[in-house]
Amino acid sequence: MLPKLIGAALIVGAVVVMGTYAYFSRDLPSVSALRDYKPPQTTRVYDRHGQVIGEIFTERRTVIPLSEVPRHVVLSVLAAEDADFYEHEGLDYAGILRAVGRDIVSGRAAQGGSTITQQVVKLMLLTPERTLSRKIRELILARRLENELSKDEILHLYLNHVNFGRGRYGIQEAAQYYFGKNASELTLAEATLLAGVPQAPARLSPRSNPEAAARRQRYVLSQLASKREVYWPDLTEEAIAAAREEKVETIPLPEASGGAPEVLAIARQALRTAAGDESLGEGGYAVHTTIDLGLQKHARQALQRGLRAIDERQGYRGPYPTRNRRRGPKATPPVNSLRMGRTYVAKVFKTDDGKEQLRLEVAGHPAVLRMRDLERYNPDGLSASKFARPGDLLPVSITQLGSEEDPAVARAERGPDGSVVVIEPRSRDVLALVGGYAARSGFNRATQAIRQPGSAFKPIVYARAIQSRRFTPASLVVDAPAVYEKWKPRNYEQWNYQGAVRLREALARSINMVAIRVIEDLGVQDVAEFARQDGITTKLEEDMALALGASGVKPIELANAYATFAAGGRWAPTRLVIKIVSPDGTNIPMEPLEPARDVMTPDEAYVMTSMLRSVVTSGTGTPALRLKRAVGGKTGTSNEARDAWFVGYSPSVVAGVWVGFDDSRSLGKRETGARSALPIWVEVMEVADQTPKETDFAMPSGVIIAPIDPASGFLAYEGQEDAIDEVFLTGTAPVDIARPPDVADPNMFLMEQFDEEDASPETTRLEDRVLGDLAPP
């Protein structure tokens, strides 16, 4: 009877097992899909020197072949997770029974017992839920996986997929994050420390809990020692003992990928364009750029120092002052909804020292401003209650929209912002691209802001004038008031007009009326077309005010327009992303750039460069003399000092700096391009240009130098002591010779004779009236 009962029980058991297997085998994922292992990887963006600028990822992972993982690293992982890995067929039955016993005792599915194969199934094919049904599916799939893949293939999946904490997946990312080296370079001590982490990545992190990580490492080392003779006799006892004695230290936390968010955004878009939207999720690409990361960081620091200097001069600290509140800013009226990218005048209705924040009312909506985000405007580190009082007004923008439960998050916009662009003129490589004070993603002022360049646009006007051969640097143009329909332009110094001024001097001193008369002679449409040929793609307002930079441009396109002068008259598009390498090592084809074109001859470009050098040597850009090298450039200040610029270059580097408020407020009294932007430019160029200081602009053969009379612009007379050298395009130098002061003008002699003998009383009275109108008051 008993044998029959046993037989029946076995049959029933077999039926139950088979039924359970059949039931839980339904709709299971296919293990064969793991043969084509393509997990999300990390895309890295590199600078021109191979330094990592930042990373693009959904999961930080770099897949490496098992051949690049040293044997002692593999043994450390096996000792920590599954010493019998190469002996079992995917399941550790003894371990499963132990785990089931523990689960029964605890009353819940709390204890694992998983082999590496099971962990791969759990990580890559199933959900992490802890249920009996999920465990049964895991066991079924583990056996299937062992039949589908080799042991080495399964271990390869595990080493590249498992979480090593702090958002790092796979042994390569772990080695880089904790020790700053590749997995192939790990020591046995380092390997045993990392091997212990996957069991509980948060609790066993060598960074956040080094004591627990060290205890886990000692366990792994003990497993290596106790199982050495059976499993890995090639690993010596001396090596294990040395690993126990070795002091393992993690590297300092890597700098967050925030040094160049502007570059990462452009790299991301270039990758999407070249490889498709799916490339961002897949990852594993290498995006190579022209950026110099060291210069990028320095340029932002220079911008920050320059903007803080304006803050200090203009008192952009804390809320708006309460004096003159009647004439000062008013809180923004209520609106239906807040928008990101707009500046509001918010009212402080509560200060919270405990939460270290200000509670604001922004256009009728609640918002919070964290004190840690106010470092620029709170250099003394005041508490919330000392920094502001209820009722104070503060300009802010919105960085995170609110909801019914949570208020919006605001950012102070008390002071101005700016941008810096640095370009290598021959290649048009962008060496630095700074879109704002803070290193954060979002609005990139260098490439997206459209701002009035003011007098920084004048070189484009004068370049066309030189190219036309109707003007030379020695040409005299009248600086005097004029009215064009209802527009009456003025010089910056409205009381000061110079009469006839040489073109070079007019550019150096940024005389508005001369630029207007030049564009009047050339034609507005003609100059606008020249600007377009020089890379200004922003739509220009084609009126006389174009001469004074009243039509907005983008900082990067104006800097690149100046690069045409530095490059001998040849325009080319800027380039930032130069190569994209796929995960398999092949280069991804990229969209071709717009072809380069000759906008000016090298001779014309040199003459323009020579004139721009006078801006530095004797004009509005003299602070640039501090560089003690050959540079040229131009200041720019728009109406009411809403924009401040300096764009300039040496023979090897072009840089452009813009400063202003996003909402076009005035920068403040006495702020100009020379005061606000030029110091930043100088600081950037001190690092950007590493060529010998004696490097000069090469003069082409089509340019001549001739001595001229500074007053008339004619060729200097023989022996003239105050003669100056001037550059001319071949064939454009003056032919007339200036008269010495002791030689009378025969034309004037004839005019005087005519006036005395033939002038009527009416003619004399008319002449007196005209001369009286032009005479200074």
Give me the active site residues, please: 81, 455
Q: Is 504 left (phi over 0), alpha (psi -120 to 50) or beta?
A: alpha
Q: With contact defined as beta carbons under 8 Å apart, do 415 and 386 qualify?
A: no
- The tokens describing 757, both together, are 């003998």
- Secondary structure E strands in 216-333: 286-289
Enumerate residues 6+ apart whose C-beta is below 8 A from 512.
Answer: 455, 489, 490, 491, 492, 547, 548
CA distances to 39, 57, 165, 174, 194 from 170, in Å: 11, 14, 10, 6, 11
Identify the helix (H) or strand (E) that includes residue 527.
helix 524-533
Please name the residue that has the structure tokens 């293939």.
153
Instruction: Please name the residues in contact with 320: beta carbons below 8 A apart, sequence gap of 6 or more.
Output: 328, 329, 345, 392, 393, 394, 395
List the structure tokens of 649: 């270059």
Integer Cα distance of 386 and 773 in angstroms: 60
Burial of residue 384, with CB atoms counted within 10 A of its CB: 0-12 exposed, 13-18 middle, 19 or more buried: buried
User: Is residue 515 within 8 Å of residue 461, measured between CB atoms?
Assistant: yes
CA angle 206, 209, 211 (to 5 degrees): 90
- d(Cα 501, Cα 479) in Å, to the nearest integer? 7
| DSSP per-residue letters across 195-217 | HTGGGSTTTT-TTT-HHHHHHHH
Question: In Å, how far are 312, 324, 643, 697 from 329, measured between CA atoms?
Answer: 20, 9, 20, 49
Q: What amino acid occupies position 669?
A: K
In the block, tokens 């360049």 appear at: 453
Q: 535 by DSSP, 3-state: which?
A: coil
CA distance readout (Å), 437 to 268, 659, 682: 21, 10, 17
Segment (H or E) for 421: strand 417-424
Residue at 748: amino acid letter:
M
Q: How far apart are CA 535 and CA 13, in angstroms?
A: 81
Based on the number of CB atoms within 10 Å of its own CB, is 175 exposed (0-12), middle (13-18) or buried (19 or more)? buried
Give the gyration radius of the chain's Cα atoms. Answer: 37
* Number of Cβ within a 10 Å radius of residue 58: 14
Give the number of other Cβ atoms within 10 Å of residue 362's Cβ.
Answer: 26
Q: Give backbone dihedrals phi and psi of 172, rounded to 5 degrees, phi first.
A: -65, -45
Beta strand ranges found along 205-322 (DSSP E)? 286-289
642 and 677 Cβ atoms separated by less than 8 Å: no
Question: Angle at Cα 209 formed by Cα 207 and Cα 212, nearest 5°?
Answer: 130
CB 57 within 8 A of CB 279: no
Identity of the amino acid at 475? S
Contacts of 405 (CB under 8 A, 6+ apart): none
* Contact (Cβ atoms closer than 8 angstroms) between residue 738 and residue 712: yes
